[in-house]
Chain A
């Protein structure tokens, strides 16, 4: 028999209604019948009152069966809800969404646009599939719940790093191979806008840029430094602002891989020479990608500054560290300081007061170094190590120094091989 308890609304209704002609019958069924003593009085058997609850404890129902909840044993512990699967078999057309994939994962911006893509398919009708086109390294494992029907991962050395020319060539091949209804790009500084403009120029399409209100017929986009709303017919290529639609959260999708037949590209005229080392403390803290933040648990400040230099991290601080005069006010993270957006935030000796937590709300990965395993920062962190900050920072610096040494010697070897 199945585990599912079925309610009988009629029976419940009769149980609630004491004036119902059948009430007596139902109520006595529930309680095991009425017992009359030898003198005709109604007797209650005290040991028969109540029932055994789900964890083995006797419960007495003082509502006398008037509670509306279904009776009987509770179903098994709440299972993880499986969202319904949205399936698209042999689609008629595709909506290509070229994701930014900052750090190899879908950004919030990407997810909003995936939501919009599904909205467009619903409005246009037909059997359309949403494709996430990604380049380079992909670490995302939640394509299915983000609303991706197909994943087109274009791999190859030519597409790694800064390669807009190779990427746009691949996209024109996608256009030739599949029937693409729309190209959606995030209008972002992470490369989405650049790639979209290149593709639009290549295909000779007029894109809508900074679009923020889009449906199947019309799209509204910003112009003249965001002082103008331009309404026009929805074009093939769209560059969308953040929060242009709501992300998918009620369905699961197949996220089956798709392939591009021909990934050969012509030699690039722009050659990538890699990232340039910038002084991490010159980057505005609100923008910094990697922050090493110090709190009241730091006792060796010289070591902390050295650690941030070795790691190449921007320095941050809790309010206590600032108030005590160890760090400048401009470095304070939190409600009364800077709200940071780092991808990685290493909190050394910070307890995680709510005022501090507000400031790191947008951080992806928090690493906590703390002596107290029960503090709030440990609860927020993706990785927490419990121990003395000085000791762990010293070990960490050693590892990073070793790593730099080996990568330097690797490079030297490569150079000597090339020579």
Chain B
């Protein structure tokens, strides 16, 4: 039985020009969805059905895009969670953080909490799905990967380390069908009280030398690396020296 895969998409923002575009992580989620489910992939957006960016997603080879029609200020979570429940999704793919709006990255977590499903964050790839369990590769810092298995159904947020999205074709994007349904009307009441402004540049942290005397300040400004802090092994045998290095590498867990 093929699995029901749903990718959630949002409107992205180009980092330099600020124009709306396909969001990077979301389009990677669509790409991964296409790998898992082919054309059976269901792509869902909660928001405005007239949004031209949706056509860019559709240009990745989608027959249709499901839009849960709602206003910009409405909360997307109730609409999405009832849709996912109704559709009996097995795997839901999202980005880690949206590129517009609050960018809190809470959507997958809130959906998981409401549906009672597990969530795996920062997924680089879904390797295989077998016996109701998926083998998932997580992207860790410093280019490392971790393998986990998780039971279906689950939600995965897709990291930038996942396979890059394919190009979007303009014509097929225009021809794709927009399947609109009514979304939620619940307004986001907390956000009304926030004030928003274009981001200010963050001040650079200065290196402040907290020295009590002029001599200390002088030393802080001119000091060369001081010896005596580290351990120096001179007269031991080569084997003992290698052992010391080895012990340090084991202790720091860089050798496994």
Contacts and interface: CB of A to CB of B under 8 A. Distances in A.
Interface of A: 103, 162, 164-165, 189-190, 193-194, 197-198, 200-202, 206-207, 209-210, 212, 222-233, 243, 249-250, 269-276, 278, 282-284, 287-290, 311-313, 343-344, 346, 357, 365-367, 369, 373, 376, 378-388, 391-392, 395-396, 398-400, 403, 407
A201 B113 contact: yes
B242 A396 contact: yes
B148 A270 contact: yes
Contact of A284 (B104, B143, B202, B205): B143
A383 B245 contact: yes
Given A249-B210, A271-B150, A273-B148, A197 B106 contact: yes
A119 B207 CA distance: 20
A224 B100 contact: yes
A162 B146 contact: yes
Given A209-B105, A230-B102, A344-B249, A269 B150 contact: yes
Contacts of B256: 275, 312, 407
A343 B233 contact: no
A396 B254 CA distance: 14
B234 A290 contact: no
Nearest to B202: A212
B218 interface: no
A189 B141 contact: yes
B27 to A, nearest CB: 14
Given A103-B253, A201-B106, A225 B231 contact: no
A198 B109 contact: yes
Given A230-B196, A378-B227, A380-B225, A225 B103 contact: yes
Tell me the dominant secondary structure on chain A's binding face.
mixed
Interface string B240-256: 01111110111011111
B145 interface: yes
B145 A275 contact: yes
A276 B147 contact: yes
Given A209-B105, A382-B231, A399-B243, A165 B118 contact: yes
B245 A103 contact: no
B254 A270 contact: no
A385 B244 contact: yes
Given A207-B106, A269-B118, A395-B239, A288 B142 contact: yes
Nearest to A407: B256
Most B C-beta atoms less than 10 A away, residue of A189, A197, A290, A399? A197
B238 interface: yes
The 7 A-B pairs at the shortest CB distance, nearest first, are namely: A395-B242, A283-B143, A385-B241, A290-B254, A201-B113, A201-B109, A273-B147
Interface of B: 13, 15, 18, 97, 99-106, 109-110, 112-113, 118-122, 135, 137-138, 140-151, 154, 190, 193-200, 202, 205, 210, 224-227, 229-234, 236, 238-239, 241-246, 248-250, 252-256
Contacts of A373: 232, 234
A276 B236 CA distance: 36
Given A212-B202, A225-B99, A269-B151, A282 B104 contact: no
Contact of A227 (B121, B190, B199): B199
Given A201-B110, A233-B193, A270 B13 contact: no
A288 B140 CA distance: 12
Contacts of B190: 206
B120 A270 contact: yes
B241 A243 contact: no
Tell me the dominant secondary structure on chain B's binding face.
mixed
Given A197-B105, A224-B103, A243 B230 contact: no
Given A271-B148, A385-B232, 7 more contacts: A223-B103, A232-B194, A243-B202, A344-B252, A376-B225, A378-B232, A382-B231
B146 A379 contact: no
Contacts of A206: 106, 190
Nearest to B232: A384
6 contacts: A223-B196, A230-B196, A243-B205, A282-B143, A287-B142, A383-B244
A278 B144 contact: yes
B245 A396 contact: yes
Contacts of A165: 118
A273 B256 CA distance: 15
B159 to A, nearest CB: 9
Nearest to B236: A385
A194 B245 CA distance: 34
A231 B141 contact: no
A380 B224 CA distance: 10
Contacts of A194: 121-122
Contacts of A209: 102-106
A400 B255 contact: yes
A348 to B, nearest CB: 10
A227 B242 contact: no
B104 A229 contact: no
A384 B231 contact: yes
A343 B120 CA distance: 26
Nearest to B143: A283
B241 A395 contact: yes
B168 to A, nearest CB: 20
A264 to B, nearest CB: 19
A397 to B, nearest CB: 9
Nearest to B141: A189
B112 to A, nearest CB: 7
Contacts of A367: 245, 248
A226 B137 CA distance: 27
A312 B255 contact: yes
Nearest to A210: B103
B12 to A, nearest CB: 8
